[in-house]
Amino acid sequence: MFLEPIDFAKMYREHKACTDFKGKTSSDWDEKSKDMAASTIDSPYVNDFISRMDITGDEVILDIGCGPGALSIPLAKRVKEVIAIDFSAQMLAELETYAAREGVTNIKTIHIGWDDDWSELPPIDIAVASRSMEVSDAAQALGKMSAHARRACYLTYKVGGSFVDMEILNYIGKKIITKPDYWYLPILLYQNGYLPTIDYITTGRGSIRSGNVEEFVESLTWSLGGIEEEQRIQAIEYYERFILGENRHPKPMQWAFIGWDTKK
């Protein structure tokens, strides 16, 4: 007896549409660009990502959702050329400033995102998407990556269904519908004839900043798209009780590193 095939692409789309972690707009990321540039550049995560890539030095790489260039600039120093795309114009401006500061000239920036037409992109060997694949249709996004990369693709996707510690959410009384977890992606790739490899990268800190109480509450509010006044009061209490009182900062984030050859 054969079971009916599961439509994981549809399951992902429906799950993503329901989650409380909605995608941010280009304006949201424009406002966040300077903060991201300061926090992501020269991080151990970047070295962890690049060390898992198979590169020889002659590649043209497409960096999708490149942000302020945390991955693009180090890669450009090791390969032939990087095509960096992002739907936030301000992120691209930060990248160009970073590139000029580093003396890097083999990067081309293009102001487009996941949902735009990629037909005018130049030929590329490898596509990367570092922590940028919060898309409404994962199957479509993976298909675009695979179609444009002549050699291989690499991406990272959050492990677990929340960008915020569940411990924090439970304490402030914020109930959420979690986001789709990373396991959708290797299943979708396998269904399309690819044999993905999976590894894991742990960052030094979580997505919620905790340098001071104002930063903590602001970071929590931004990640959740807003919190109620009672939840804000509980968040302050959590900070004072656990972060200040017990030096228990938000847990580090874990990312699934997924790679696959596109030469079938």
> pLDDT tens for residues 230-249?
999 999 999 999 999 888 88
Confidence band of 35 (pLDDT split at 50, 70, 90): low
Kindly tell me if the per-residue pLDDT of 211 is higher than 50.
Answer: yes
Nearest to 180, CA basis, from 256, 67, 259: 256
Name the pTM for this structure: 0.90
The helix (H) or strand (E) run that includes residue 190 is: helix 184-191
Mean per-residue pLDDT for 132-141? Answer: 95
- Average of per-residue pLDDT values in the chain: 91
Q: What is the pLDDT of residue 1?
A: 46
Taking 3-state DSSP, the helix, strand and coil percentages for the chain, each rounded to the nearest 5, stand at 40, 15, 40
Does domain 8-163+177-207+251-261 correspond to CATH entry 3.20.20.70? no
Q: In what order do the strands lie in the sheet with 107-110?
A: 107-110, 81-85, 60-64, 124-130, 149-158, 254-261, 197-202
Q: What is the pLDDT of residue 33?
A: 58
